[in-house]
Amino acid sequence: MNGGGLVISLDFELKWGVHDVFRYGRYNKNLYGVRKALPKILALFEQYHIHATWATVGLLFAESKAEMAHYLRGIPVKYEDMRYAAYTQLAKVGENEQEDLLHFGRSLVEEIKRTPYQEIASHTFSHFYCLEKGQTKADFCADLYATKTITDGYIAPMKSITFPRNQVNKDYFQACLEAGYICYRGPTNHALYNTSKGRWLGAKKWLDSYFNLTGHHLVTFKDMQMAPLIDIRSSAFLRPYCSPLRVFEGLKIKRIKEGMLEAAKAQAFYHIWWHPHNFGKHIDKNLAILEELLRYFQELRSHYSFESYSMYEVAKLCLHPERGISNDF
Ligand SMILES: [Zn+2]
């Protein structure tokens, strides 16, 4: 019998995930900080035997600007708002990772690959927005194809996908399935999390990270039975350390610990996610929070049969509970 567990996923994207939001280098400190934070996150995962999913933007597998341009030519997506299109950023991209630490990430992918029990998954190739006006299913399929081609032979075929800005378009699920994916991370199961629009909703989501407004959002196999892709939905976003509001940090940690405890007792899953760049500032503070959560997880693991899982491992258990986990990545 499966006893549930902690699921962790990270959306690894560097500048490709934020170029339309932060201009004039306003977020660069966080992005440069990923170079320091990511290896330390991996070290903690190794120390605490954590299995995690790294949903990686396909462009981060590229080794040169020419390679990026080659793949992006195959995805000529015409968003109504062209700020979203990755290829509009090419002029700002350096020749390779030595020159440009914000748009390239192959050496970091290598570190993830070297760490045991880490799943490398997709966050689309070009940080593709599946619900924005102007993009089409053909564009999305071209984006899927680019990821498949650039990763072919380098890593195991990808099985899990997380959608940029959590824009889940069910019309694209069949294409994902045909490309080999079996699961995705759906948004937290509450009306508050079904849309990313609106300042008031944003404030409520923020409050929900500190005070239990919407429940613990445990994930059970029953929730996951959604053909054709399995929804390993999110329970909580791990917000970065916030210096002006540091008095609330304890509440945030407590809220997540309570969710983990409820999941352990109910033999359910608790799925937390964030971006490595969220840890790019106040790195030590954020790592200390992560370690506190992992230490608590360790306690739960010894008191309940509460384990650590990647998204793909949960999907495999959902499909074939009798087989358990096989380590095939
Ligand atoms: Zn993203």
Q: How far, in Å, is the centroid of ligand 1 from the Cα of 266?
A: 31
Q: How far, in Å, is the centroid of ligand 1 from the Cα of 164?
A: 4
**Average pLDDT, rounded, for the chain:** 92
Residue 39: is the preceding peptide bond cis (ω within 30°)? no
If pLDDT is split at 50, 70 and 90, which confidence band does 216 have? confident
State both tokens at 242. Answer: 């916030």
Residues with CB under 5 A from ligand 1 (ion): 11, 13, 17, 164
Cα–Cα dist 49/307, whole Å: 10
pLDDT in tens, 121-169: 999 999 999 999 999 999 999 999 999 999 999 999 999 999 999 999 9
Q: What is the pLDDT of residue 234?
A: 95
Cα–Cα dist 271/251, whole Å: 18
Top CATH class, 5-319: alpha beta
Q: How far, in Å, is the centroid of ligand 1 from the Cα of 305?
A: 32
3-state secondary structure the chain: CCCCEEEEEEEECHHHHCCCCCCCCCCHHHHHHHHHHHHHHHHHHHHCCCCEEEEECHHHHCCCHHHHHHHHHCCCCCCCCHHHCHHHHHHHCCCCCCCCCCCCCHHHHHHHHHCCCEEEEECCCCCCCCCCCCCCHHHHHHHHHHHHHHHCCCCCCCCEECCHHHCCCHHHHHHHHHCCCCEECCCCCCHHHCCCCCHHHHHHHHHHCCCCCCCCCCECHHHHCCCCCEECCCCEECCCCCHHHHHHHHHHHHHHHHHHHHHHHHCCEEEEEECHHHHCCCHHHHHHHHHHHHHHHHHHHHHCCCEEECHHHHHHHHHCCCCCCCCCC
Q: Is the pLDDT reported for residue 212 higher than 90?
A: no
Cα–Cα dist 51/119, whole Å: 8
Helix axes 28-47, 283-303, angle to 10 degrees: 30
Q: Is the pLDDT reported for residue 182 higher than 80?
A: yes
Q: How far, in Å, is the centroid of ligand 1 from the Cα of 301?
A: 30
211: Cα separation from own chain's centroid: 23
Q: How far, in Å, is the centroid of ligand 1 from the Cα of 17?
A: 5
pLDDT in tens, 24-74: 788 999 999 999 999 999 999 999 999 999 999 999 999 999 999 999 999
Q: How far, in Å, is the centroid of ligand 1 from the Cα of 275?
A: 8
Q: How far, in Å, is the centroid of ligand 1 from the Cα of 58?
A: 12
Q: What is the pLDDT of residue 193?
A: 73
Q: How far, in Å, is the centroid of ligand 1 from the Cα of 280?
A: 15
Q: What is the pLDDT of residue 325?
A: 59
Q: How far, in Å, is the centroid of ligand 1 from the Cα of 20?
A: 11
CA angle 190, 191, 196 (to 5 degrees): 105
Q: How far, in Å, is the centroid of ligand 1 from the Cα of 127?
A: 6
- Asked if residues 88 and 82 have their Cβ atoms less than 8 Å apart, the reply is yes
Domain boundaries, the chain: 5-319
Q: What is the pLDDT of residue 329?
A: 41
